[in-house]
Amino acid sequence: MSRHNRQIGGWSLAIFVICVASLIPVLWIVFLSLKTPATATDGSFIPHQWTLSNYSAVFDQGIFTDALRNSIGIGLISTVLAVALASSAAYAIARLDFPGKQVILLVALGVAMFPQISLVGPLYNLWRQIGLYDTWPGLIIPYMTFALPLSIYVLSAFFREIPWELEEAAQVDGATPFQAFRKVIVPLATPGIVTTFIIVFIICWNDFVFAISLTSTSNAQTVPAAISSFPGVSQFSVPYGDIAAAAVIVTIPVMLLVLVFQRRIVAGLTAGAVKG
């Protein structure tokens, strides 16, 4: 009995430590975003005076709302393109027999390990020459590319688990090939595709290297780049509250995705990384 209690105590302690370590920086930025400008620099963890004014201030700034629009648009388009290209490649890798399968997997591995910053100079140069600098396609192209390796690994891991015999079985039972695909394969493949979609969207949403290098105005600047260049009221005051509020807003969608799809993301990431 006492051994059992000790076990419960030990696990509770471990869980408590994990919660505190994971959540404190998040709580801190949330609390900072709720402090009034006068108390923002008082160094207390919990605000003495609470306010929502930082949030309305952030939404009043064109730099932030434009960046939010860019982040959402660029993120969604890059994700759709990457998942579409990766789905067809992953289907071939999981299902078909062809020479060069190892080559494509090695290329993907190579791209996954690529130091992205190495591309920044040449892309910056090229984009300025062909007019893609500071545009949506200028970010979508690198985002899609660097999302492809993980998408291919995760999707082919998922596709390998699909019982493809069911498709033939449905056809034997009188379904047309298209019906068999739509009614049998699509529902089985959807969870994998949704998971990949979420993982890829998070990667695009998070990017900073390309965003800071290949954009300069609200034309294509995404939220991470905008946060890093937030203007203060004057040159000498850091807009702590604004930065914190913007940081919280940009975190919320990703956090919701992660918590809601937690189980799937874990399965997808581990399948892609270990079995991939």
Q: Which of the residues 174 through 233 are near other proteins (CB under 8 A)? A: 202, 205-206, 208-209, 212-213, 223-224, 227-228
**Of residues 121 and 131, the one with the C-beta less far from other proteins:** 121
Binder among 6, 7, 9, 190 for other proteins (CB under 8 A): 7
- Rule CB under 8 A: choose which of 34, 74, 119, 220 binds other proteins: 119
Q: Nearer Cβ to other proteins, position 65 or 160?
A: 160
Of 78, 221, 49, 208, the C-alpha closest to 151 is 78
Measured from the CB atom, the residue of 175 and 202 that comes closer to other proteins is 202
Contacting other proteins (CB under 8 A), which of 32, 68, 74, 204? 32
Segment lying near other proteins (by CB under 8 A), choices 55-63, 94-102, 130-138, 170-178: 94-102
Phi, psi of 114 (to 5 degrees): -65, 135
Beta carbon of residue 56, minimum distance to other proteins (angstroms, whole number): 20
| Number of other residues whose CB lies within 10 A of the CB of residue 224 | 19
CA distance 134 to 216: 6
Nearest CA-CA partner of 196 in 261, 115, 104: 261
Are 157 and 272 in contact, with CB atoms under 8 Å apart? yes
Of residues 81, 201, 91, the one with CA closest to residue 156 = 91
Contact map string, positions 241 to 270, toward other proteins, x by CB under 8 A: --xx--x--xx--xx-xxx--xx-xx--xx
- Cα 222–224–229 angle (5° rounding)? 95
